[in-house]
């Protein structure tokens, strides 16, 4: 009964929690994956590549995709739109891959409402708010105003941890990575409810005694 139609692993958490670092630690140990690249209207940053880090589009194009129902989920965050195109996700699932999402709490709500049977969700957090602030300041990629907005958003996101299957406190990178690897491999064999029902019907293969 292994899930041959693929599975979804959602990673959420404040900017600066270390989601990208954790994925780099485990990506070679969790089998064939597809990392869902979000589409965004935010400006491209130095060192980023279109189609690698994000699909960068203008607001007009993004809103047209919303109207045509081309997103699995989308959200308006920090003054910009972010969304997940549904076509490549469906193709990856059909190929039996583990689809990885790095999305916010609002995006997780959309994904679990539509594909909850095959979705495992993980919230990743630094141990404290002060540690998060320290990490954001150390990156030197955001202005003071942006950092303040991220901290404000993090305080709201942390209240929704109960919506997730797992919480990983990223205090020690290697320990957190080991935990995430176990969760990712378990996500691959999560059985959708329709397959469970089919199994139960097949299992009852003799007449009632």
pLDDT at 4 over 70: no
In a domain, 141, yes or no: yes
pLDDT (tens digit per residue) in 93-135: 999 999 999 988 988 998 999 888 999 999 999 999 999 999 9
Predicted pLDDT at 51: 87
Contacts of 98 (CB under 8 A, 6+ apart): 6, 7, 8, 9, 30, 31, 32, 33, 34, 184, 187, 188
In a domain, 40, yes or no: no
Give me the domain span that covers residue 26. 7-35+98-203
In a domain, 77, yes or no: no
Beta strand 7-12 pairing with 119-125: parallel
In a domain, 80, yes or no: no
- Helix, strand, or coil here: 50? strand
How wide is the angle at C-alpha 32 spanned by C-alphas 30 and 34, nearest 5°?
Answer: 105
In a domain, 31, yes or no: yes
Predicted pLDDT at 11: 97
The tally of domains found in the chain comes to 1
Instruction: Name the pTM for this structure.
Output: 0.82
- Helix, strand, or coil here: 3? coil
pLDDT (tens digit per residue) in 33-62: 999 988 999 999 888 899 888 999 999 999
Give the CA distances from residue 72 to residues 88, 174, 192, in Å, rounded to whole numbers and listed in that order.
Answer: 10, 32, 19
Residue pair 8/111 in contact by the 8 Å Cβ criterion: yes
Total residues belonging to the chain:
209
DSSP code of residue 96: T
pLDDT at 3 over 80: no
Predicted pLDDT at 39: 94
In a domain, 116, yes or no: yes
pLDDT (tens digit per residue) in 187-203: 999 888 888 888 888 89
CATH number, domain at 119? 3.40.50.300
DSSP H helical segments within the chain, as ranges? 19-26, 59-67, 86-94, 105-115, 129-139, 144-157, 173-187, 193-203
In a domain, 173, yes or no: yes
Predicted pLDDT at 206: 79
In a domain, 69, yes or no: no
């Amino acid at each position: 009964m292994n899930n041959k139609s693929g599975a979804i692993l959602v990673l959420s958490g404040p900017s600066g929690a270390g989601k990208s670092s954790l994925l780099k630690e485990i990506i070679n140990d969790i089998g064939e994956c597809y990392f869902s690249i979000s589409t965004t209207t935010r400006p491209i940053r130095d060192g980023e590549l279109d189609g690698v880090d994000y699909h960068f589009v203008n607001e007009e194009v993004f809103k047209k995709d919303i109207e045509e129902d081309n997103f699995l989920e989308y959200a308006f965050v920090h003054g910009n739109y972010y969304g997940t195109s549904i076509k490549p996700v469906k193709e990856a699932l059909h190929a039996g891959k583990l689809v990885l999402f790095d999305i916010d709490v609002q995006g997780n709500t959309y994904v679990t409402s539509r594909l909850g049977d095959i979705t495992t969700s993980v919230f990743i957090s630094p141990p404290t708010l002060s540690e998060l602030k320290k990490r954001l300041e150390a990156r030197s990629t955001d202005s003071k105003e942006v950092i303040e907005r991220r901290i404000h958003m993090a305080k709201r996101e942390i209240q929704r941890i109960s919506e997730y299957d797992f919480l990983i406190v990223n205090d020690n990178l290697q320990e957190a990575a080991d935990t995430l690897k176990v969760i990712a491999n378990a996500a691959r064999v999560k059985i959708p409810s329709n397959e469970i029902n089919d199994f139960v019907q097949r299992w009852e293969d003799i007449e009632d005694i």
